[in-house]
């Protein structure tokens, strides 16, 4: 809980890897009355224009994991973030001089089954990132009627169909911290505007 927000903004981390673990935490926080969330994490870059450390604001999530199918009726529909909270996150990133791109993400819970065929398919579709949680979190938020935005820092690249991990790189960590600060500021400012 962040005291400067009268304990109305909280930060949660290290909730495991993948959709099931973070989904459980999200459901519990919603039950406790939390209404606004920003998912901050790392992702793989799918496009040749992607670079380690790029910040990406999620505009939709392709559902290739299991959790979201228990929350959204249309199995072919992407999971979508809250438009207002996403707009506010983009505003804060711009205000703070944090360059970013935006686009769709591919959420999968099969870490070592991102096949060449799937990567090429999603590249051609213009999907920017691949990660393991966003679709589930966005689906839960939609069903539960709470606001959720999602942003990532590119920590590894697969655009050339070879995995280039840079998860421990200084650039990754520095940009992840800046994205976290922007997410925190976004939640703090939206909290102030809701009073």
In a domain, 173, yes or no: yes
**What is the CATH classification number for the domain harbouring 132?**
3.40.50.1580
**pLDDT mean over 96-123:** 94
| pLDDT value at 108 more than 70 | yes
Q: How many Å apart are CA 68 and CA 78, to the nearest integer?
A: 10
pLDDT number for residue 47 = 98
How confident is residue 185, by pLDDT bands cut at 50, 70 and 90? very high
Where are any strands of DSSP class E within the chain? 36-45, 55-64, 101-108, 129-131, 147-157, 164-165
Q: How many Å apart are CA 111 and CA 97, to the nearest integer?
A: 33
Q: Which domain holds residue 75?
A: 36-194
**pLDDT mean over 175-190:** 94
| pLDDT value at 139 more than 60 | yes
In a domain, 12, yes or no: no
Task: Show the tokens assigned to 79.
Answer: 């999971």
In a domain, 17, yes or no: no
pLDDT number for residue 13 = 61
pLDDT number for residue 6 = 62
In total, how many domains does the chain have? 1
Task: Show the tokens assigned to 117.
Answer: 């065929």
The residues, ordered by sequence, that sit 6+ positions from 62 with a Cβ below 8 Å of its Cβ are: 78, 104, 105, 106, 107, 122, 127, 135
In a domain, 3, yes or no: no
More confident residue, 114 or 83: 83
């Amino acid at each position: 809980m962040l005291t400067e927000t009268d304990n109305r903004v909280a930060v949660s981390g290290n909730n495991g890897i993948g959709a099931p673990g973070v989904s459980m935490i999200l459901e519990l926080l919603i039950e406790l009355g939390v209404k606004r969330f920003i998912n901050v994490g790392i992702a793989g870059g799918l496009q040749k224009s992607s670079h380690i450390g790029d910040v990406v604001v999620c505009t939709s999530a392709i559902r290739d994991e299991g959790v979201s199918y228990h929350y959204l009726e249309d199995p072919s529909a992407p999971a979508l973030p809250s438009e207002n909270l996403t707009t506010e996150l983009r505003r804060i990133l711009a205000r703070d001089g944090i360059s970013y791109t935006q686009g769709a993400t591919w959420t999968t819970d099969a870490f070592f089954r991102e096949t060449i065929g799937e990567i090429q398919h999603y590249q051609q579709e213009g999907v920017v990132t691949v990660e393991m949680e966003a679709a589930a979190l966005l689906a839960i938020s939609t069903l539960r009627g709470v606001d959720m935005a999602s942003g990532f820092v590119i920590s590894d690249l697969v655009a050339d169909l070879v995995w280039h991990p840079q998860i421990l790189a200084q650039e990754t960590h520095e940009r992840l911290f800046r994205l976290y600060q922007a997410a925190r500021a976004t939640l703090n400012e939206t909290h102030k505007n809701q009073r």
